[in-house]
Structures are given as structure tokens and as C-alpha cells.
Structure 1
Amino acid sequence: MRRNIRRGLRLALTGALTAVLLPTSAAQAGTPAPRTYTVWQWNVAGNTIHDGSTTDGLVTQAAASIVARGADFAAFNELCQGQYSALVNELRTRGWPQDQANFARFEPSRAAGNAAVCQGEAFGNAIFSKRPLGGAARFALPDDGTAEKRNLLCAPLTDGTATRFCTTHITTSQSSNVAQLDLVHQKLEEYAASGETVLTAGDFNAQPHYGRLNTYYAPSVNTPNNTDNTGQYRELDDDDPGNCPGYGEWTADGTPGATPPCGGNAKIDHIFVRESALAGAYSADSLAVSTACTGVTACSDHRILVGTVTVK
């Protein structure tokens, strides 16, 4: 009995000493280490400019940019389903995904069958990931009364980091725009409350200084160009000192709605991450629109937005 007691004490002491000597990363094995992601976002006008074409250069230009920019995630808005399938094949050919069978998700906002849209194919949002994806979540947004049924499309990584990537394309209708923004915000907060880190990219059809984005932007973003914020999020281009601080670089041709605070065209494409998830610096740039697509003067009426962020 005495020997058993001594042996138990030795084991207890050894276990305690081992716990003290273990590095923090091992002691907190359930907590992922900080990780850096590059997010790529583009509204490609796949129907209005490309009429669903998969051979006019849109697919190759997009895939080349994703690979060249070292993107971990890519989001598309206004993409025809045939273009989505072509992008899957092109990215496979370029060796971009780690798992060639599990890296892309598509959600229509207009179903197939209308010959005037995408040559009869479905039309909507898509996400791509360099790392394997889990099952997608698809949320219908409040109806704006049009034929297009807007959605929020999300999918998690399968690597145990509790990282999720989402995209959305919010309506231009102002009253429905607010309702759709509110539902997207609600879903992002629900994911955050469950312990997930969410990166959200898309065409929000709202400029950073609009009041309806005040519940997104954190008060730490407040500048003369973007005031009265009450939210929890940072946008990856919101602190660029050379491009309208608090607002960022323009992303879309024309000036929908109010004049941008620094003039020029409007920024309506965003990449959001919750401020509490940040673990380091972040930045973003909008890229000049390619003119390499055949039969059109420009490959889109939106610029590509690329951002890099380190998260917990």
C-alpha cells in the first residue's frame, strides 16, 4: 500500500511538472494559432457584360489573378453557372486547390431556365477556397420584389480552425438593402457567438459612410469620411492612409447614391472581419479592371478587391 501511495505521488508530481514545462501551444491545443489569409473578391457582371460566356477571357483572367495574388479565398458575384464550372476546371488546371474535389460552392440568385439570363443557366454567388471546405450554409435574404432572390453563401474550412468564408450580393433597392444588410449582419454575429472566425466578401451596394453600415463598422474606424459607427467589424481597406481613410479605394464604375466623401467613384465591395478576431495588421487594394476580355471594353464594371488579414 505504501509503495502504491509513493508511486501515485510520483505520477502526480510528474504530471504537474510536465504541464508546467509544456509550451503554451501544446497546453492550449484546442486554440488555433494566428493565421494569415488573402481574400479576393470580384463582381464579374457575368450576364450583363459577358452573356454567360466562358471563352471571352473572363474565366482565365479571374483564375490568373487568384493564383498570382496568392489568394486563400475567392468570392464572385453575378456569376453564371457555366462560368462557375469553368472556373472550377481552370483553378484545378492551375493547381490552386489543395483538394480538387472540395473547394468551391455556388448558390443561384436566379434559377436556370430564363433564356435572357446567362443563356438560360443559373446566376448567382460563388466561393472558392485553397483549403478544403465543409458543407455550405445558404441563407435567403429578404425579398426585394425582383426576379433575383439574393442570398448569403458561407462554408467553413475543414482544418479545425473554426474559420468560415462567406459572400453576398445585396440589392440596390434602398429599403430592401437595409433589411438584407441586417440579416447578413445577424448571421455573422451568430457565427461569431458560436466561436467561429468569419471572413465576408461581397458587393454590399452600400458605401462605407452610409448610415446603414454603421452597425457593421466599429467605432475605431470613425474618421471624417466614415462617422457614427457602432458595430464590431473592420473592412480590410478602411485604414489605408493614402486612399480616403475610413472609406478606402473605389471599386465600382459610376457613383451610385451619395457622392463619395473623397470624390470619384464609389466603394461598394467590401471584405469584413470582426474586430475581435484580428491578430495583426490587415490591408487591401482594389485593382484596375482588366481589358483583356474579348468583345467588351472591360471585363467588369467592378474592380477586384484583394485584402490580407491575420486572425486569431
Structure 2
Amino acid sequence: MRLLRRLFHTLSIAVLAAGAMIGTAAPAAAETPVPEFPYMVNYKLWHWNISGYKMSRGSTTNGLIGVAASSIQNRSADFASFSEMCYGQYTALKNALRDANWPVDETNFSRWTPSISGDDHYCNGQDFGNAIFAKKPLGNASRWTLPSDGTDEPRTLTCVNTEDNVYLHYCTTHITTETPNNANQLRYVLDRLEAYHTSGHAALIGGDFNAQPHYGRLNGWYSSSLNTANNGSNTGQYRELDDNDSGNCPGYGEFTALHPPAPNNAPPCSATQPLAKVDLMFVRESRLLREFGGGYSGDSLDIAKSCSGIAATDDYPAKSCSDHRIIIGSVTLFAGKDGTVSAF
């Protein structure tokens, strides 16, 4: 009986996976919780550190909001997250996405997490923090404050799920630049993701990690199956969505920040990738189950140069909307409870 049950579940997974790949009907209605066995689904992810105060000074009228809203729509994002956002920019983007009919439910598609509240040094007295937007109606949001780095900006982790899938969580974070606190915060975030895994849930994350793929403190993140000249000695369970880019530093991916790293932290492909890659997206490798069609890809996009009032610097040209690139990812994974074949 146990063998037959295992075979039934395995065959069910294969049928559902095949359906997902050939474009048959969706596995569950929007108002119905997903079944407690795995099914395959694709998510399109989008993240941007907009430097909302450092560069745009909290502006909602310099072109930044329009660039973000258009990109989210054009890339058909299911989840979009932001670092370094002013609360006024968050509100303006909500309105822009509503006007564009992007969310399914225009009253329940975003979550805000402040890291600095009402400080005149940030956002002209507005809150400053991170945000998540979702095309489908959102369910619960979980928020954690990361271990302190000794500065006046508490760093956070936020995770959300949609109402139609309580077993899949999208998370965002902005890790400190301060060392060794960067490593402490990375471990804390990883522990939260692994807690989701232990409970049978899947978690995806996009954010500004302020660590490059080849750094030793990310070895516990990257899967041991990833072992390239550009990124080796890994012991973890996760794949970064741009780590399989064969054209841009395999195992490392394409740069995301316009400021050059310190000389001793130069990327392994400095000749072709001279700038830092610090904005990352991760999925747990066990959720991919490639024999059933699971997979992933990622990219970073050129920065729009259409934001008024931003002067040129040594790192970026005039009118650059941020000093970070937008990163996008696509991942096909098993997103139900206990999402691996070996769980049955």
C-alpha cells in the first residue's frame, strides 16, 4: 500500500508537471487553497534597489515611478520588491499600478516594511524601507528585524504569500554593508528560509545582499552542485537565478550595481564583468526537480536614464534612475506543501 501510494503521488506529480509545461488548465482556482501535494508552477520575479532617497530624494515626479511601473508590467512580474524606498514613492507606485490594472485586487496587493521611521535625514521625514507588490491578492506578511549592525538603520526581512497559495512565500531583504554583521544577517535570513523548508513550504527571495556570489559568506547559500571557477567551495542548498548564465561569468552572473567593488573584492570575471553583483534572487534547489521540468533563469537590466534632477557622478551618468540595475528572474518549481518527491 505504501508503495502504491508513493507511486500514485509520483504519477500525479508527473501529470501535473506535464500539464504545466504544455499549457493546460491551472491546477487550482484562485479562491481555493492549493492541494497539500506538490504541483508545478512558474513565477516571474522582479527586484530593484531604487536608491529612492540617495538619488531621487524621495521624488515621485522625476520619472522613477513610471519606469518602475512600466517595467513590472512589461516583465509580467508576479512579485516585485524594492529596497531603499521612501513611503511616498511606495504610495505613488501603488497608484500607478492600480491605474495600469496590474493587480488582480487593487486593494490588497502590496506590503510595506519601514526600516527608518520619520527621520529628517531620510525621505524628508517620511518612512524609509522596503516593499513587496504582488499581482494576486496577498495573504499574510511576516516581518523580522535582522541582527543589529550598530547603525541607525535596522535591517529587515519581509515574506508574503498570496491568498491562493499559503505554501509559497516571496521574501525580500536589504543586508547591511557592515562586516562582520553582513555575514550575521545573511545567516539569519538563510535560517528563516530553511525554517519555511522544514515546515514543508517553499520560499523565494530577491533583495540587495551586499555580498557578491564568490564571497565565502555565501558558500552556505549556494548549492554544492554549483562548482565553477568563478564560484566554488559551496555547501548550501540554493541556486541564484542568474548563476546558470553561460554568457556572463558562469556561476557568478551579470553585475547589478554601478559602483565598482573594492579592489580586493573584484569579480572573478573582471574583464567582462567589472562591476559588483550584489542584488540576488534565490530558490532552494530541491524545489526545482528538473526531471519534471523545473528550472530557473535570471538577468539584470540596463538602468533607465530618464529620471530628471539626477546629476552625473563617476559611477553613473546624468538622469540615471538608480545606481542599481533591476533584476528579474523566472522559476518553475513545485510550490505545494512538502514539495519534493522524496517527501512521499
Please name the residue that 1:214 is paired with: 219
| AA aligned opposite 1:270 | L
Alpha-carbon distance, 1:161 to partner: 5.4
Report whether the alignment pairs 1:290 with 2:304: yes
Alpha-carbon distance, 1:309 to partner: 0.6
| AA aligned opposite 1:206 | A
Give the counterpart of 1:199 among 196, 204, 207. Answer: 204
What pairs up with 1:192-271 in 2 under 5 angstroms? 192-257=197-262, 258-263=265-270, 264-271=274-281
TM-score, normalised to structure 2's length? 0.82
Alpha-carbon distance, 1:84 to partner: 0.4
Please name the residue that 2:72 is paired with: 66
| AA aligned opposite 2:173 | T
Please name the residue that 2:103 is paired with: 97
Please name the residue that 1:274 is paired with: 284
CA RMSD, 1 decimal: 1.5
Please name the residue that 1:45 is paired with: 51
What pairs up with 1:92-171 in 2 under 5 angstroms? 92-112=98-118, 114-160=119-165, 162-171=167-176
Match of 1:134, SS state, is strand
| AA aligned opposite 2:94 | V
Alpha-carbon distance, 1:32 to partner: 4.4
Alpha-carbon distance, 1:231 to partner: 0.4
Please name the residue that 2:331 is paired with: 309
Alpha-carbon distance, 1:116 to partner: 2.3
Alpha-carbon distance, 1:228 to partner: 0.5
Alpha-carbon distance, 1:249 to partner: 0.2
- Take 1:247 and 1:307, find their aligned partners in 2: how far apart are those partners? 15
- Take 1:185 and 1:193, find their aligned partners in 2: how far apart are those partners? 12
Contact 2:224–2:236, Cα closer than 8 Å, also in 1: yes
Please name the residue that 1:3 is paired with: none
Number of residue pairs the alignment of both structures matches = 289
Alpha-carbon distance, 1:29 to partner: 4.6
| AA aligned opposite 1:303 | R
| AA aligned opposite 2:236 | G
- Take 2:185 and 2:254, find their aligned partners in 1: how far apart are those partners? 24
- Take 1:254 and 1:45, find their aligned partners in 2: how far apart are those partners? 13
Q: Deviations over 1:145-198 (max 9, x none)?
A: 111110001111211351101000000001110110010000000011111111
Please name the residue that 1:17 is paired with: none
Match of 1:155, SS state, is strand
- Take 2:248 and 2:35, find their aligned partners in 1: how far apart are those partners? 40
Contact 2:295–2:333, Cα closer than 8 Å, also in 1: no
Contact 2:50–2:84, Cα closer than 8 Å, also in 1: yes
Alpha-carbon distance, 1:131 to partner: 1.0
- Any runs of at least 4 consecutive aligned residues in structure 1 with deviations exceeding 4 A, and if so which? none
- Take 2:165 and 2:251, find their aligned partners in 1: how far apart are those partners? 33
Match of 1:188, SS state, is helix
Match of 2:247, SS state, is coil
Alpha-carbon distance, 1:143 to partner: 0.7
TM-score, normalised to structure 1's length? 0.90
| AA aligned opposite 1:136 | A
- Take 1:183 and 1:134, find their aligned partners in 2: how far apart are those partners? 23
Please name the residue that 1:10 is paired with: none
Alpha-carbon distance, 1:137 to partner: 0.6
- Take 1:99 and 1:273, find their aligned partners in 2: how far apart are those partners? 26
Contact 1:32–1:161, Cα closer than 8 Å, also in 2: no
Report the structure number with the largest CA radius of gyration: 1
- Take 1:187 and 1:29, find their aligned partners in 2: how far apart are those partners? 23
